[in-house]
Structure 1
C-alpha cells in the first residue's frame, strides 16, 4: 500500500503510514510532520518515503524537516523546489509552477516505479 497526500492530507497520510503495517511507501507533498507528532518511537523499517515542498514555503518548518530527516534516515528522500508557493503543483492555482510541478511528478513516478 502507498499513501500520498497534499498539504494537510500529507500530514494525515504520514500519521497513518507510520502505524499501519500494510503501508510500504509514503509521498508527502507540500507538508511534513516532525517526529514528535507521530507518536512512534522509531521510523518503521518497512516504510520508504519522499517529501516535496518549495524552499520558501511558510507552511513547512525547516526544523521539522530536519528532525524528520534525522528520524527517518535513508528511508526518506527530500526534494525542494524554487520559490515560496505552498501548492505549487496545483494547475490553475495562483502558486502553480509548471516546471517544479513537472519535476515533482516525475520524481514521484520514478519513486513509485522503483517499489517492489
Structure 2
C-alpha cells in the first residue's frame, strides 16, 4: 500500500503501479488525484479479495488500467514465494515497463 499512498498524497507523482493489491482511495484521505495514471495488477481470484477492490478503483480513475491474471495467489510476482507465477510475472513486468515509458 505504500506505493498507492505516495501516489495519492505526494505532489508531483507521475503515475502509480499497484501490484497485488490496492485499497479504496478514501483510505488515504480522499479521491484519486485528477489526471494521475494508474496500473493495477492482481490475480482474478486473489485469495485476499483484491480483484474486487481493484475493479472498483479502476472504474473511478479515468487514466487507469487493470490487468487480471489467472489464478488465486496474492503475491504471484514474488519469486521467493511458493505461489510465484513466472508467466504472469513476466507479462506484468512487460506491462509495467510499457507504462513507465508512457509516463516518461
TM interval, shorter chain, is: 0.7 to 0.9
Which residue pairs with 1:60 in the alignment?
Answer: 49
| Secondary structure at 1:27 match in 2 | strand
> Which sections of structure 2, spanning at least 5 residues, go unmatched?
none
* SS of match in other structure, 1:52: strand
Matched length? 104
Give the drift of 1:62.
4.2
Aligned equivalents of 2:100 and 2:65: distance in 1? 13
Quote the offset at 1:13 in angstroms. 1.4
Aligned-residue Cα RMSD (Å) equals: 1.6
- 1:24-63 aligned within 5 A: 24-40=14-30, 42-63=31-52
Distance 1:63 1:81 in 2: 13
Deviations 1:26-58 (A, max 9, x none): 100000111331311x32124111000111112
Of 3, 6, 23 in structure 2, the residue corresponding to residue 16 of structure 1 is 6
Does residue 115 (structure 1) correspond to residue 83 (structure 2)? The answer is no
